[in-house]
Amino acid sequence: MLMRARIYRQSKPAGQSGQAMTHTWVLDYGQNRPRHVDSLMGWTGSTDTPSQLQLQFPDQNSAIAYATAQGIAYDIEIPAPRHRRPKAYADNFRYDRIQNWTH
């Protein structure tokens, strides 16, 4: 059974607040062969090289064009819209603050 490739937009790292490196689209191949445990070292291995690859594209259309040209079945994951709420440090000390003072 052939797994379908997944095309998605790179997500923001959890420990960072910036949006750098989140504008690229990634094509991940699905796993087509089972993994096996090496009897000597105990490491998990696979002979399925494409499942270890991640291809990056500047936009969604070029990722789709590549998958179509190579005959790769794919699923697209559209990212949820991000709602930014700008904050300022001075808002912690506003006189009309709704939350309790915790400092």
Domain count, the chain: 1
Query: What range does the domain containing 18 cover?
Result: 1-31+48-81
Stretches in the chain below the pLDDT threshold 50: 1
43 occurs within a structural domain: no
In a domain, 41, yes or no: no
Contacts 24+ apart (CB under 8 A), 67-76: 67/5, 67/7, 67/27, 72/5, 72/27, 72/29, 73/2, 73/4, 73/5, 74/4, 74/5, 74/6, 74/7, 74/27, 75/4, 75/5, 75/6, 75/7, 76/7, 76/8
Domain presence at residue 36 = no
Q: Which residues pair with 24 in a beta bridge?
A: none
pLDDT score at 102: 62
Q: Which pTM was predicted?
A: 0.67
Q: What local confidence, expressed as pLDDT, does residue 66 receive?
A: 94
Whichever domain contains 19, its CATH number is 3.30.160.190
**Whole-number pLDDT of residue 42:** 84
Domain membership flag for residue 74 = yes
Position 2 scores a pLDDT of 63
103 within some domain? no
Instruction: Tell me the pLDDT tens digit for each residue of 33-44.
Output: 778 888 888 888
